[in-house]
Amino acid sequence: MDYRNRHIVVTGGTGALGSAVVGALLAAGAVCHVPYNDERHALRFPYRDNERVKLIGGCDLADEAGVVRAFHGIDGLWASLHIAGGFAMSPLAATSKAGLMAMIDVNLVSCYLCCGAAIRAMIKHGAGGRIVNIAARQALEPRTGAGMTAYTASKAGVAAVTEALAQEVAEHGILVNAVVPSIMDTPANRAAMPKAAFDAWPKVEEVAATILFLASPENRVTRGAVVPAYGRS
């Protein structure tokens, strides 16, 4: 896949999956714009000194001003990959409105606002583009979201936004899709579930490969897809 000189926004780019995506994009020639809101994550980001990585600090993606900052000044945006998000495990009866809204903000609102900013930039550029969102297995299989209902609802919203938006912007040559990982093989997940079958979990590099295809110029027809990336889990 040829990404030479294509400008890509990668939210959550300093995280485990985001770093795998950025690494693959750089290998394919892309210029990566990586907004972040936590300096600690930026300091350990392995590509922070790459000349084709543009780190953008102080971006709260659940806030419109933060999203404007993230997308400001990007000339010729080709793709926007919305990997940023959060997780919380809590039964509904023990989850306050504040807990629900925290999940809605970090997962659904951030995705929604970034989609809007990306579309405006792509339509202005006039060359089409690609958007890839990240949902979760619980969005497609809500019964597996027991004990994490707020998270499940927020990610189900991401899947719904993806399908509706794909139809809304197809006439502009913008293809919108979502990737749906199951539990991924990351150091944090291994530490949280030390007795799990790690070999069955999808690797971040494998999920990144799915994202890269959907965001690439080679994807000419796939839109409105919510694509499972479960591996053998």
More confident residue, 175 or 201: 175
Asked whether the beta carbons of 135 and 179 are under 8 A apart, the reply is: yes
Q: What per-residue confidence (pLDDT) applies to 187? A: 87
- Residue 161's pLDDT is 98
- Report the CATH number at residue 116: 3.40.50.720
Residue at 2 is within a domain: no
For residue 208, pLDDT over 90 is answered with yes
Kindly state whether residue 95 falls inside one of the protein's structural domains: yes
| Confidence (pLDDT) at 105 | 98
The verdict on residue 147 lying in a domain is yes
**pLDDT tens readout for residues 41-94:** 999 999 999 999 999 999 999 999 999 999 999 999 999 999 999 999 999 999
Q: Is residue 59 part of a domain?
A: yes
In a domain, 1, yes or no: no
Count of domains in the chain?
1
| Domain enclosing residue 122, as ranges | 7-229
Residue 83 lies in a domain: yes
Query: Is 107 contained in some domain?
Result: yes
